Every structure is written in C-alpha cells, then in structure tokens.
C-alpha cells in the first residue's frame, strides 16, 4: 500500500485543477503577450549592412544568402585615391532552415540585424519562407526600441570618446590643438625613417602648425 | 416479440451505441482539458466545441484506407470489427430500467462477460496481422495484459452473481440493496481497475504505449479502421461504466425510480465514465512488471477474498 498516498495526491491535484479557472491563452482571438526579447523573425536594417558576410559565415545552418558587388567611389579631392564600397544586391534568410539561434544577430558588427517579435508568418509553401531583402527590411518596423541602459552602466564607447577632455592640448605637435573642443582627430602613427630626429624630442617638427598629414599627402 | 419491436429495439441500441461513446469521448476531451488547466476543443460546432468528435469522424472517413502488403489481409481488415461489435452486443443486454433492455436474456451476465472478452481479441488480431514489429509487440503485451485482467473481472462479477443469486443483469439489479455498496465494495474496486486495464486505457495502456510502441497494435491502421478502434475503446468505457452502475451502484434505484429510473442508470454510468477519465489524467502509465504485479498480487487475492465474504454473507443470509 506504499503508493497509495501518491495515487490519492494525483487524484486530488487533478480535481483541484479542474475546479479552478483555466489559464489557457486563447491565441488566435487574444494576442499573446510576448517578452521583449522574443525571437520571432529577423529584421534587416539595410543601410547598416556592409555585406561583410560575417552573419552568413557564422550561421550554423547556412541559411543566409548574400550577394554583393563593389562600387568605386571617385576621389573627392584632386589626386586622391578612389574608394570602394560594398553594395548589397541580395540578402535573404531561409526561415525554413533557420533555427533561431540568433548567432547572426550577435555577430553582426554593424547592428544591421535585429530580432522582431512578429511570429505569424507561416506559409503554405515552404519556398515562401525564404524572406528576401525587402521582406526582411519590412520587419524592421516591428523591432522594439532597445532597452534603456542600466543607470549605473558605463557610457557607450562612442559617447565616452566624444566627451573625453582633449589630451595634450598645447603640446608641440599635439593634434588636439584646436582648443580642446570637439572630437580629437586620431593621430596617424607612421614608421620613422632611420636617423631622422624624433619629431617630439624638443625641436618642433618642420610642419608644426600645419594640419596633420593625411592620406592624400603621400609620403616620399 | 414482434418483428417491429425487435427492429425498434435494435435501432435504439444502435443509436445508443453511436451516441453514448461520443458523449463519453467529448466528456473526456473536456474533463481532461480542465484537469490540466486547459479548455479543450472550442471551435467545432460553436458551443464549446460540441461537434469536435463529429468533425474527427468526418476527417477519419476522408483518410486513405491502407492495408500493408505484408499484412495478413483478412485478419487485418476484420480486426476493427472484432474489436467493436462485441461491445454493441454487450450494450444490447444491459438493462437501464426494469424491462428496458434491448434483449433480456436469462444469462446476460455471462453474455456480457463473453462479449467484452471477445472485444480484446480485436487488439490481438490487429497486432498479429499487421506485419510490423511494433504492432506485434503491442499485441503480445495486450495478450499478457488481457490474460491477467480477465480473471479479476470474472471473480468480481461472480461475487455479485452470488450475492444476487442470478446470472441475469435484470434480476441482479432488482436484488440490489444499498447495503451492497459496502458489502461489495472491494469487488467493485477490483472490477473498476480491471475494466480500465481491459480497455487498455491509461494508466494501463502498455499495449498501445504511443510513446514507445508508436500506437502498438494499431500502428498500421489508418482512416476509418483506426477510428473503429477508438470507437471500440469508448464503447468499452460505456459498457463497463453501465455495468458497474447497474451491478454495484444499483442501476435505476433512486428517487422517482418508477419514472426516472433510466435517467439514474445513465447518470450513474456517466459518473463512472468520468471516474475512468479522471484516473487517466491523474496517473502515469504502469510498467509491464508493475501491471502484472498489480493483477496477480492485489486484484486476484482481493477478488477471491470478496468471493469468500460474499459466500459467507449469502450462507448467513445477510
Ligand atoms: S538565427 Fe541562427 S540559424 Fe537563423 S539565420 Fe541567424 S545564425 Fe542562421
Ligand atoms: S554581419 Fe551584419 S553587416 Fe555583415 S553582412 Fe551580415 S548583416 Fe551585413
């Protein structure tokens, strides 16, 4: 008679549940309350995408298709170098293969992919689950705003960098000589030719005061 | 009995046979759902999904009827009928009111017993004829289970027959007195457990065991034939519940038994059916060895003790 208490407990539990109101969410009639980070569908913010292919490479199912080509942007200044830019031709995710692991979203360095909580995109034909660029872009509208930062959290890197007091203002050769306001220009580090005097070793460099050498000014 | 009356009675049993299992099935949908904190089917038919089983039936009819090439053709095709028809026969003999039974035969208790045992043969035939190892395993398990649980049922019914001094269900129910509720209680419990097992319902559904045996003996069945097996299960619940209500709970005995007696029988039977459903929801499936243990170490001894008690009672004239 050892199992008797358990048997009675089972009966009592089920009877009690039957007498309580049910907690069924009647889904098609009542919209479900989804948690903020639900993984419904992946949205693409096309402007941010650089076609770097990181997402496609990391996707365990290889269900991301990216085609891109390079376009040349002519130099803006006289004698400057032409630049090249990736242009996205096709970006598609096959949701019949996707396992919603979220790796693509994690690895995207440019915040071009986002989770949208929309999940009602079932199709009759499997092939229709291949969402092309425009459809993926359309999901962007339903992406919730990112959650606010924690109060005590460190500032985002770009804001911290912008607010940092200018360093080395007034020093010879200092690139931040423009009064310390505004973002500092990054200092270009280039290899010194052997034997030449160190530029910051007391005597001012020959081009002190002139704007820092840019890529346009080719070194000899 | 004139020909017309015979036809009328046959038709009424057929109607009951088609309606009552659906009623039990729908009750199972709903009771089970609420016991699990769900709602159950809500759409078919409008009001709380009352037409769900009818819709299921329509769906089953549409499906293809497949007989595997390696199957033992005739045995395979006959199995659902063998499972289903005996319950129709059994239902015909169960009295729901004095004088209201489709056929009132003197030895109806034996007839019901024989019919319900034949029903189990359907599972065996299905398991053997399907040419499928899951079905075969299910069939073997069913055989083991039916052999074990046939005995407690027979013993429990024998005790009732002794107490009432008859083999006719009608006479037994007329002999019933409220005192039987206590006197025949152990036998009644044995009968309930064994009936559940005989119907291969959870927690005694090893022959089907859909998680490990892919629906056991019914693995190869499709469409209407599969539906017949399901219907046989529900018809079996109806038969067993009515039997319990008639023999242990006193059938039509109750207030206004002269006019509303049939309602009492049906209500009691429905109550027992809900109990069978409740048991299904509350308890996990037994393991094969536990099943055999329960039958041989608990049910059979208790049934024998009940038989002893009943014998003593009859001799002493309680
Ligand atoms: S969620 Fe995972 S599986 Fe889906 S596209 Fe992204 S990386 Fe691939
Ligand atoms: S990782 Fe981001 S930026 Fe790179 S291709 Fe994928 S979506 Fe575009």
Q: CA of A12: which chain B residue's CA is closest?
A: B282
Helices B108-129 and B223-247, packing angle to 10 deg: 150
Distance (Å) from CA A116 to ligand 2 centroid: 17
Which residue's CA is the nearest one to ligand 2's atom 4?
Answer: A52
> CA A7 to CA B4: how far, in whole Å?
51
> CA B244 to CA B276: how far, in whole Å?
11
Which residue's CA is the nearest one to ligand 2's atom 2?
Answer: A108
In the DSSP assignment, the letter for residue A148 is: P
Distance of CA B211 to the CA centre of its chain: 23
Q: Each residue of A72-115: pLDDT tens digit? A: 998 888 888 889 889 999 999 999 999 999 999 999 999 999 99
> Model pTM?
0.70
How close is the nearest chain B Cα to the Cα of A8, in Å?
9
The pLDDT score that the predictor gives to residue A189 is: 55
Q: Which two tokens stand for residue A18?
A: 């039957």
On chain B, the residues whose CB falls within 8 A of the CB of A20 are: 37
CB-nearest to B38 from A7, A15, A22 is: A22
Please indicate if the annotation marks A63 as binding a ligand: no
The pLDDT score that the predictor gives to residue A206 is: 46
> CA B193 to CA B188: how far, in whole Å?
9
Q: Each residue of B214-223: pLDDT tens digit? A: 788 888 888 8
Helices B108-129 and B133-164, packing angle to 10 deg: 170
The pLDDT score that the predictor gives to residue A100 is: 93
Kindly state the helix (H) or strand (E) to which residue B231 belongs, with its residue range: helix B223-247
Residue A202 has pLDDT above 70, yes or no: no
Pairing of strands A41-44, A64-73: unpaired
Which atom belonging to ligand 2 lies closest to the Cα atom of A51? 5
Kindly state the helix (H) or strand (E) to which residue B181 belongs, with its residue range: helix B180-183
CB-nearest to A18 from B34, B42, B283 is: B34
Q: Which residues of A touch B (CB under 8 A)?
A: 7, 10-11, 13-15, 17-18, 20, 22-24, 26
Pairing of strands A130-131, A83-94: antiparallel
> CA B243 to CA B237: how far, in whole Å?
10
Rg (CA), chain A: 29
The pLDDT score that the predictor gives to residue A211 is: 47
Q: Would the ipTM clear 0.90, i.e. be above it?
A: no
Per-domain residue ranges for chain B? 3-316
Which residue's CA is the nearest one to ligand 2's atom 8?
Answer: A49
The pLDDT score that the predictor gives to residue B253 is: 78
Q: What's the Cα-to-Cα distance from B38 to each of A23, B98, B257, rounded to whole Å?
A: 7, 40, 37
Q: Each residue of A2-20: pLDDT tens digit? A: 777 888 888 888 888 888 8
Contact B173, B252 (CB under 8 A): yes
Distance (Å) from CA A35 to ligand 2 centroid: 26
Which residue's CA is the nearest one to ligand 2's atom 6?
Answer: A55
Residue B58 has pLDDT above 80, yes or no: yes
Give the residues surrounding ligand 1 with Cβ less than 6 Å away: A 59-61, 63-64, 93, 98-104
Q: Is A195 left (phi over 0), alpha (psi -120 to 50) or beta?
A: left
CB-nearest to B36 from A7, A11, A17 is: A17
Which atom belonging to ligand 1 lies closest to the Cα atom of A55? 7
- pLDDT band for position A198 (cuts 50, 70, 90): very low
Q: What is the strand order of the sheet A64-73 is part of?
A: A64-73, A83-94, A130-131
Q: Which two tokens stand for residue A188?
A: 């270009």
Nearest to B140 by CA among B219, B230, B216, B222: B216
């Amino acid at each position: 008679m050892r199992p008797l208490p358990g048997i009675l407990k089972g009966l009592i539990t089920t009877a009690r549940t039957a007498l309580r109101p049910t907690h069924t969410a009647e889904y098609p009639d009542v919209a479900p309350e989804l948690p903020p980070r639900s993984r419904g569908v992946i949205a693409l913010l096309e402007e941010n995408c650089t076609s770097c292919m990181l997402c496609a490479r990391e996707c365990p199912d290889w269900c991301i298709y990216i085609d891109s080509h390079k376009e040349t942007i002519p130099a803006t200044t006289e004698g400057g170098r032409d630049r090249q830019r990736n242009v996205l031709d096709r970006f598609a995710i096959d949701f019949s293969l996707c396992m919603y692991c979220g790796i693509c979203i994690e690895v995207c360095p440019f915040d071009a992919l986002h989770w949208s909580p929309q999940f009602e995109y079932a199709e009759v034909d499997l092939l229709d689950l291949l969402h092309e660029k425009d459809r993926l872009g359309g999901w962007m509208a339903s992406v919730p705003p990112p959650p606010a930062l924690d109060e005590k959290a460190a500032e985002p890197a770009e804001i911290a960098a912008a607010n940092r007091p200018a360093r080395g203002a007034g020093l010879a050769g200092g690139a931040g000589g423009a009064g310390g306001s505004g973002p500092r220009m990054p200092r270009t580090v280039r290899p010194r030719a052997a034997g030449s005097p160190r530029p910051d070793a007391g005597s001012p460099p020959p081009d002190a005061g002139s704007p820092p050498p840019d890529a346009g000014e080719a070194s000899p | 009995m004139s020909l017309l009356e015979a036809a009328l009675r046959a038709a009424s049993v057929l109607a009951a046979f088609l309606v009552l299992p659906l009623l039990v099935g729908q009750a199972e949908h709903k009771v089970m759902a609420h016991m699990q904190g769900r709602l159950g089917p809500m759409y078919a038919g409008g009001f709380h999904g009352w037409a769900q089983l009818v819709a299921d039936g329509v769906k089953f009819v549409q499906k293809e009827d497949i007989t595997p090439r390696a199957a033992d053709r005739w045995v395979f095709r006959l199995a659902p009928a063998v499972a289903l028809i005996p319950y129709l026969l059994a239902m015909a003999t169960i009295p729901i009111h004095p004088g209201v039974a489709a056929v009132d035969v003197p030895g109806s208790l034996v007839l019901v017993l024989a019919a319900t045992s034949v029903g189990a043969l359907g599972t065996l035939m299905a398991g053997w004829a399907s040419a499928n190892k899951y079905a075969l395993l299910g069939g073997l398990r069913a055989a083991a289970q039916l052999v074990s649980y046939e005995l407690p049922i027979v013993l429990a019914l024998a005790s009732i027959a002794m107490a009432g001094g008859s083999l006719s269900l009608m006479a037994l129910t007329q002999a019933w007195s409220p005192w039987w509720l206590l006197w025949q209680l152990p036998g009644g419990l044995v009968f309930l457990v064994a009936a559940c097992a005989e119907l291969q319902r959870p927690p005694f559904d090893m022959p089907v065991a859909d998680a490990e045996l892919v629906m056991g003996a019914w693995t190869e069945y499709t469409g209407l034939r599969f539906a017949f097996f399901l219907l046989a299960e529900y018809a079996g619940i109806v038969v067993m519940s009515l039997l319990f209500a008639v023999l242990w709970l006193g059938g039509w005995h109750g207030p206004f038994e002269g006019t509303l007696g049939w309602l009492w029988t049906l209500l009691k039977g429905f109550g027992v059916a809900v109990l069978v459903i409740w048991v299904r929801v509350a308890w996990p499936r037994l393991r094969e060895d536990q099943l055999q243990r329960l039958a041989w170490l608990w049910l059979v001894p208790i049934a024998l003790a009940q038989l002893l008690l009943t014998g003593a009672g009859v001799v002493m004239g309680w």
